[in-house]
Structure 1
């Protein structure tokens, strides 16, 4: 879990991290802001099984409220992370 943070409505917030699957290449890092109902892929083409994959995700909240970003990786066998990482943040009006 990533430490909760406060962000401003209308200003982008950037998340970044690393993914690794112990020798099996990562083919996608995915993000969800709707509890895992839908996932957005981050392109990690060119990754190899012996390297960590660095990813970034930027999001601009349009309304005040609490948000929960889920992040998971998918390996070349099509297996997704068993438990996604979680980044919680609260957007407020300036």
Structure 2
């Protein structure tokens, strides 16, 4: 799947949610049942991958911990845009808090 499409789906699927989450229905509404479902699963999988990353907290704050995780996640996924990483980071922060 095209990196631009994934980035767009991440920003669109998470970006307008008050509580950070993947809005599957929004993706289906925008891209149609078939493509929207595939994109939703891909975005959910990426968020789950980021949330599951291990971290040594030490004396890090929540924000520092999220930045640590997202820095490592961005190295694993260099195709992701800064905007997409920010939206995934919102989900990571919400899950860690």
TM-score by length of 2: 0.26
Q: Which has the higher contact order (CA 8 A, sep 6+)?
A: 1
| TM-score calculated relative to the size of structure 1 | 0.27
User: Which one has the bigger helix percentage?
Assistant: 2
Q: Computing the radius of gyration over CA atoms, which structure comes out larger, 1 or 2?
A: 1
